[in-house]
Amino acid sequence: MTRAWVFNLDADEELAAWPRSYQPSATLRERTVHFSTALRALLSEGDVVVEQAHDLSEHLGASWCPTPRAVDRWRRANVRLPNVPTPACLKRVNHRSFGYALGRFLPLAEWITTEREFDDICRSSKALLAKRPFGFAGRGQRRLCGHEITEGDRRWVRATLNKYGGFALELRVDLVRELALHGFINETGEVVLGEITESKTSQGAWVRSERAHDVEISHRAQFVDVISGTAFALFREGYFGPFGVDAYIWRDSFGEHFNPRSEVNARYTMGWTVGMGGLPIRQP
């Protein structure tokens, strides 16, 4: 069946606000339009984009992430509604603490819930990266120098704790390669995994993805093991649909290391079609 797509790349912002109402800013709308052109690869023959079509009653709804606003846009366009996870489920599994709870692979990776915890880590660490619970394309992150926390840093920490109740604090590392592995979970829990991709980024924002053919066997095996466990945890929480796990290779004075789960994305991702292209996936 052909699908009617909603490219709501601001889904993370909406989920951060849910259950409160959410309206994207003009700046954010412009940013999502810029990236949405790269999502045309998700369209199969006969698929349409909701904003560019009128009579959509013969199409089934599809979206970057099936948030309440996406569902509302399907309804207003008279699109046939698919089964989707609940908003509460989407918020749980896209919250950064979900991936943290599954296990961490950096020598310093902590979930911070108080300013005192933040100060304790800053006293013993230097190069740090703080990440709010939701964000995309590098949004919601702040680079910190643990021994030189500025008043602006302090305001960011306090505002984040007040609004979200916590944030991720990680060692800021020298990245060698940024990788991703994608999959699809159907409503019965069956999982289809794709091929490892390499993400090319600029200042933390995605530029393009390509197949990664030269990943070390040990890294590949660990990555598949981690994403399989992640898929099980997602389905256990009530999630089904597309997902991806980000990873990276980093280096320090002792050599190169592999972090097989830096982010969990319970939705489509920019590199999803590159990693999953041509695979038989039973989806709407």
What is the C-alpha to C-alpha distance for residues 257 and 274, in angstroms, rounded to an integer?
25
Closest CA relative to residue 146, chosen from 116, 173, 119: 119
The amino acid sitting at 97 is: S
Give the sign of the dihedral formed by CA 79, CA 83, CA 88, CA 89: negative
Q: Which option is the CATH number for 109-171: 3.30.9, 3.30.1490, 2.60.40, 1.10.10?
A: 3.30.1490
- Domain boundary assignment for the chain: 3-84, 109-171, 173-276
The CA-CA-CA angle for residues 251, 225, 275, to 5°, reads 80
How many of the other CB atoms lie within 10 Å of CB of 122? 19
φ and ψ at residue 232, rounded to 5 degrees: -60, -45
Reported as a single tens digit per residue, the pLDDT across 225-240 is: 999 999 999 999 999 9
DSSP 80: B
Question: Count H helices, E strands: the chain?
Answer: 9, 13
Looking at residue 280, its pLDDT comes to: 44
Pairing relationship of beta strands 167-171 and 174-185 according to DSSP bridges = unpaired
Give the pLDDT mean for 151-166.
97
Looking at residue 137, its pLDDT comes to: 67
Reported as a single tens digit per residue, the pLDDT across 4-27 is: 999 999 999 999 999 999 988 887
Token pair of 154, please? 């302090």
CATH of segment(s) 173-276: 3.30.470.20
Token pair of 3, please? 């699908």
| In the predicted structure, residue 282 carries a pLDDT above the cut 80 | no
Closest CA relative to residue 24, chosen from 42, 41, 6: 6
Reported as a single tens digit per residue, the pLDDT across 228-281 is: 999 999 999 999 999 999 999 999 999 999 999 999 999 999 899 999 985 544
What is the C-alpha to C-alpha distance for residues 269 and 227, in angstroms, rounded to an integer?
15
Q: How long a stretch of residues is the chain?
A: 284
- Mind giving me the DSSP string for 117-149? HHHHHHHH-SEEEEE-SS-STTTTEEEEETTS-
Q: Quick check: 241 and 154 in contact, CB under 8 A?
A: no
SS3 content of the chain, % helix, strand, coil (to 5): 35, 30, 35
What is the C-alpha to C-alpha distance for residues 264 and 237, in angstroms, rounded to an integer?
14
The amino acid sitting at 152 is: G
Looking at residue 252, its pLDDT comes to: 95
What is the C-alpha to C-alpha distance for residues 139 and 13, in angstroms, rounded to an integer?
10
Reported as a single tens digit per residue, the pLDDT across 72-116 is: 999 999 999 999 999 999 999 999 999 999 999 999 999 999 999
Token pair of 91, please? 């918020």
Half-sphere exposure of 205 (CA within 13 A, CB side): 9
